[in-house]
Copies of this chain bind each other. A is one copy, B any other.
Amino acid sequence: MNIRLRHDTIVRILRRNGTSTIDALAQSVGASRRTVLRDICALRDQGFVIHSETGRGGGVQLDPQSMQTTARLSVAEVFALLISVAAMRAAQNLPFSDLADAGLAKIERSLPPDKVRDLRRFLDCLHIGQLSPQQDLSDLGPITPALLPAFETAFLQQLHLRFLYRDAKGAETLREVEPQAMLILSPLWYWVGWDPARDDFRHFRMDRISDPKAIEGTQFRRRHVPFADDVCPYNNLTR
């Protein structure tokens, strides 16, 4: 049996049985006592917390507190999780977000450094505020999932975004703006862009945007986006 597979098997057995003696493990796994002891040692090196007790009724035991999961997530999935937690903050009451944050922080630490740089930069542009109760939400539509990667790409590469925008009256116009920030006023999500044609910032409700495209060769500089006082940068929320 493969050494890696054997390690996994041992962990699985310990998880299932709770506790087990070295000899029992050796038998289940088809290896010698010595080898299993070496495996336990290796697993401890890998970060597993394994308690052991000598004497009758003793054995080794995986610390249930330290039970961990290793999941492979794509960068896009991490982004999505992060934004979910961000939105969750936006939705006011945040009972367990500290734990969620800790989980996300770990995930973030395991990302490749350049992706973390991108992530940080993206989160810098993310802002969260409270929607005023008077806001009319009657025509609230669904947000296309493809909008996030489109914005992310254009924002990170600092390229103009061209998209179709449907205004409150239903009229559609083709817009081309510098993507400068993103604003969540749950349940509304906005892109904040600098519109060169109008020489000013514009907010675009994401549920009214369609067909976004980054335009090659249209480098722009980042600008300071003015926000109302009650709008908080995401990075301020996370300290």
Contact = CB atoms under 8 A, between A and B. Distances in A.
Contact of A71 (B15, B92, B106, B148): B106
Main secondary structure of the interface of A (DSSP, over half): helix
B77 A73 contact: no
Interface residues of A, number: 61
Interface string A185-200: 0111100000000000
B148 A91 contact: no
B47 A187 contact: no
Interface in A103-134: 103-104, 106-107, 109-115
A138 interface: no
B93 A143 contact: yes
Contact of A80 (B12, B72, B96, B187): B96
Interface of A: 12, 15-16, 47, 65-81, 83-85, 87-88, 90-93, 95-100, 102-104, 106-107, 109-115, 140, 142-145, 147-148, 186-189, 206-207
